[in-house]
Structure 1
């Protein structure tokens, strides 16, 4: 019985959460009440299963549910100290947990437990929030729903709101739910199916009312048309914006130019409506109280646009500090950061920023929700979000601060964006894997697009890694590849020059074409990659790392290896030259000199192994051990060892190191650097 009830709750949650029109990512919660068994006495006990704090309905599993005893939860009513101290009740939820309790209970637990219905849904649908944020939302609710849905004025989520909604349920037996002013909707039902049907009825009727009664152009018409070259324009501005948004702490970016966004950012009422900010707590906790809005079209000169963005950013930070100081008191948490999370660009689109790619992407999705809410509210009334003071009370709520403190510490490369050439195989693949494992967003760049895509997919979703197909010998191709990188993640911080090939021939047999190919890929290619990387990093103003995968052969002469050795020597000296040139921008340039990386190496698998084995007179399958035996440590070097050196240089412990070459060769005395 319990298993069926929980399974039905999870399935209902997943269905509701999978549809964006029903609720936003990680927004809302669902619950079910039933009878379980006391783990100590075996006696029956009334229980509440409710989505825990921080979970997402669309991906909810049983592990994401908090399980509480209803008798204890409802007994809290008798000790409730009043709205001024309602936050104390959240800590009391822990003493109501059943057994091990499951996930941490959320602030909305009281709403679900105190409403005397077997099943409850609390959701944040755009149509419902449009009613909730309309200036005459109460009258609109009555006109749309009659007595079937009741208006509840804005109240911050918490124990008192749970009491309010419980009273509505008691006093309006014909009602299936409520519109929560400034916030969202709550529905209930005697069965899971009935509860879900009631939630969907509220959402669908609200949307139908907006469609049938709303004005056609609530944003006042389009005054800035979408630019045909907007993605090129966005790529130019992305690193600048990311640097500005990272003034207080590093951020990752996300770009959106969907039709919904382009309509809003090009509208006559953009500045007016954007200044009002978002309303639903889930929205502004991620989008901040309001966005930064550029007041220039994409036809303005680039230098003028960048200068204006810097002015607007400075004004935004001053405005945000003033907002904090207006409302903060002695008990308020410190200001978390004054940079914008959302930047709106007329004719171009929207950039959103966060501590990682998922957070940045979700912030953008929330602002799209906010645009839909504004459209709906303005079409039938006027948009009136909750007051600024209430926004501050939630943004700097001690309960939200406690939630932030519970988050795990960031990984060493969190909020850093890596660009790895030759990332589709061998050493490049190992480097991409290690950087992603340490928290970086990774752009896997390779001339073999299928290989790059395979590695990127292996690393995770597009929030973790994206592939780009690029030939490093082409300046125009690299321009496109870095453009794709900054549109994916906002910028680039850590670039690994790894793409390579090898031609192993005696001088007499090395052709001019061999020489040109070797140098085009490794010497010229590294130069072109470094040039693009430096441009992005300088625009960001956040420093950065440029790593060259050179070779022992850059310092040691070997037989039948003139083209490869000379190209590697070129790369090695680029490290020194660029370390000297880019240090003033905070960009560190270092190199790694591997040797004998046979297993897992794309170069060795591509024919280099057979050529070198022939030179040394050993079977190709024994080449790795041959190289190992000539080292001081007598160990074979693997791609993972090179990847470890990349992380050592970029993970933070060597932050004052530049111009260095690290040997990863198991000890080749002839290659000791002097």
Structure 2
């Protein structure tokens, strides 16, 4: 049964809307509509209002079109996300229009209608809103409506469900001509409240923001209820031909497959992954309809801009699972997909088409397991997966009541490789230095770990924070989700001395992001005692965390790096005490020396696979450090006959440069060693200690 049968709730709150001006009401309704992915997908659809404004040039009242600007998302946009255009100037562009071959030129003319120097660019859908003779217009991409729009019997079903209330228009690529088509329909059908666009979505209109919001919901709910009645007790996609594996097994398979795929499709541009095994996905991948429907491609233009025209279905049988065979067959499967994508490109290209983009799939479907999606960053990979779930719901609904139809390849190509879309891509900012890379940071909730995570995230890296302190870890993850984005950070509670926990932590990183590129081994403790007072427990604890722990996380990182085949970077956070001995710290100094030598050994082993291993040696990083917050600070002060509050100044004066060392200083060195700026460095040590002659490397 599909699409989802739960009706949409009316979330309009008159008290929240009271006092809002017309643009404020437009924003309020837009955010309400965009908050539910059953109404429209991320970045999809648009809303508008025609508002009387004071012209800043003449002081007279003029009618202004407020409409979602190019590239925005109705669910999360702010007031500055709307383009504003003089309606009379927009309407005047009709006299310049010469036909569908003129579409791109007309988009170039839209800025000439800008009201009040608004910098927000108008989208290709602007004429669709501006030419309709109604004050408030919604254009949404609801699964339930697109399931009708993408059906063979689309026009008949629209009439059956909505009668004269909602009309129907045949497929046309969004643009100026479609705006004229909508205007002509509305004027010829004054009693209509909206229209279904074949293979595209829904338009609705009314005289107030609240009325159009409630109309949009009622139309979608009518479609949902109609599907529920027509498909009651009917299994999705005609029923399953295989069964889903248990959740833990699905995740284990995803953890194994994602780095293998990521390594094969990320040679030119690194990719991040997302795993989705929700019920709608499992219904599809377990059905007999999987391969024939997947091959037809998606229908709604927004879908294949995110997901490519079709996915790659992996040959996996959950009844007789042979994951090694799937991995062994990945190269052949990807080669076949690239060949087919090249055929699609060459067969549909126009003389002025942009060059072919990445021919690798975005969506991977695995029977019994779920869906894997890959893109240049985590948010885009997740959103691509969400779009394909929308496509699944559409295919499910359309095939349940009629016959599903994807867009013809030429139509799909003309949108995917639209020159305007290419121009938008070319305007995107240059990727940051660590874009597409995943950093796994142990001791991630401590001072150096947090500073390092912030530095790497600021350069575009996705972050896995690992720490034994669950409370501090959760607080750090929440902080970073707010500073960067929830997509950019994950946390995992980890005791680096536990082999099983280390393996599980890296598996979790693979499920969340598709793999790991950078290991920052930073988990640490410190202890101080004369050797005759150093008991075996203290000795073992230092060795377990600072030597064995570094070995365990490095070994797991090496295993993963080799599977990905993309190289890798390991940075050890050791200490000045790994090179220079200190009294009353034999266990700590010995373990830190072991770290440095382990890094050298790993640099030798990893070089042929492009795995670089380097070390940063801090000294006296007191601020924000958990190891300096307890007995260690007191013990080090006592060893120098100092009061505790004199220690930081003592270390500053002791340094050659007479400077304090802060977590951000260590993070800067780690960033350098993790980035391509140090691409030709391995086996090296950087001391960040403000100068200490006893720890000069030799």
TM-score, normalization: structure 2? 0.95
1:405 matched to 2:423? The reply is: no
1:374-453 alignment runs, 5 A limit: 374-453=395-474
Counterparts of 2:268 and 2:460 in 1: how far apart (Å)? 19
1:3: Cα distance to partner?
A: 6.2
1:532 matched to 2:550? The reply is: no
CA contact (8 A) 1:64 1:102 kept: no
1:77: Cα distance to partner?
A: 0.4
1:589 matched to 2:619? The reply is: no
Q: Which residue of the partner structure matches residue 647 of structure 1?
A: 671
Shifted more, 74-83 versus 200-209: the winner is 200-209
Could you say what secondary structure the match of 2:361 adopts?
coil
Counterparts of 1:60 and 1:490 in 2: how far apart (Å)? 29
Counterparts of 1:606 and 1:372 in 2: how far apart (Å)? 56
1:213 matched to 2:230? The reply is: yes
Q: Which of 275, 278, 288 is the equivalent residue of 2:308? A: 288
| CA-to-aligned-CA distance 1:597-617 (integer Å, 9 cap, x gap) | 112111111321111111011
Q: Which residue of the partner structure matches residue 574 of structure 1?
A: 598
Q: Which residue of the partner structure matches residue 264 of structure 2?
A: 244
Q: Which residue of the partner structure matches residue 33 of structure 1?
A: 50
1:406: Cα distance to partner?
A: 2.2
1:544: Cα distance to partner?
A: 1.2
Counterparts of 2:472 and 2:427 in 1: how far apart (Å)? 38
1:447-462 alignment runs, 5 A limit: 447-460=468-481, 461-462=485-486
1:293-308 alignment runs, 5 A limit: 293-298=313-318, 299-308=320-329
1:214: Cα distance to partner?
A: 3.1
Counterparts of 2:265 and 2:170 in 1: how far apart (Å)? 35
1:94 matched to 2:111? The reply is: yes
| CA-to-aligned-CA distance 1:559-607 (integer Å, 9 cap, x gap) | 1111111101111011111111011111111110111111211111132
Counterparts of 2:674 and 2:548 in 1: how far apart (Å)? 24
Q: Which residue of the partner structure matches residue 543 of structure 2?
A: 519
Counterparts of 1:201 and 1:301 in 2: how far apart (Å)? 48
1:384: Cα distance to partner?
A: 0.3
Shifted more, 560-569 versus 208-217: the winner is 208-217
Q: Which of 78, 81, 89 is the equivalent residue of 2:98? A: 81
Counterparts of 1:532 and 1:262 in 2: how far apart (Å)? 31
CA contact (8 A) 2:480 2:486 kept: no
1:483: Cα distance to partner?
A: 1.3
Q: Which of 271, 274, 288 is the equivalent residue of 1:268? A: 288
Counterparts of 1:259 and 1:553 in 2: how far apart (Å)? 54
Shifted more, 392-401 versus 303-312: the winner is 303-312
Could you say what secondary structure the match of 2:368 adopts?
coil
TM-score, normalization: structure 1? 0.98
1:227 matched to 2:245? The reply is: yes
In the alignment, structure 1 segments of 5+ residues that lack a partner are: none
Counterparts of 1:664 and 1:598 in 2: how far apart (Å)? 13
Q: Which of 445, 462, 487 is the equivalent residue of 1:463? A: 487
Q: Which of 59, 81, 96 is the equivalent residue of 2:76? A: 59
Q: Supply the RMSD in Å over aligned alpha carbons.
A: 1.3
Could you say what secondary structure the match of 1:99 adopts?
coil
Q: Which residue of the partner structure matches residue 9 of structure 2?
A: none
1:635 matched to 2:659? The reply is: yes
Q: Which residue of the partner structure matches residue 526 of structure 2?
A: 502
Counterparts of 1:436 and 1:621 in 2: how far apart (Å)? 33
Q: Which of 357, 371, 386 is the equivalent residue of 1:336? A: 357
Compared CA separation, residues 208 and 295, structure 1 to 2 (3 A): same
- Aligned pair count reads 674
| CA-to-aligned-CA distance 1:481-524 (integer Å, 9 cap, x gap) | 11111111111111100001011111111111111110000100
CA contact (8 A) 1:248 1:339 kept: no
Counterparts of 1:3 and 1:398 in 2: how far apart (Å)? 39
Q: Which residue of the partner structure matches residue 104 of structure 1?
A: 121
Compared CA separation, residues 507 and 2, structure 1 to 2 (3 A): closer
CA contact (8 A) 1:2 1:34 kept: no
In the alignment, structure 2 segments of 5+ residues that lack a partner are: 1-17
Could you say what secondary structure the match of 2:116 adopts?
strand
CA contact (8 A) 2:269 2:436 kept: no
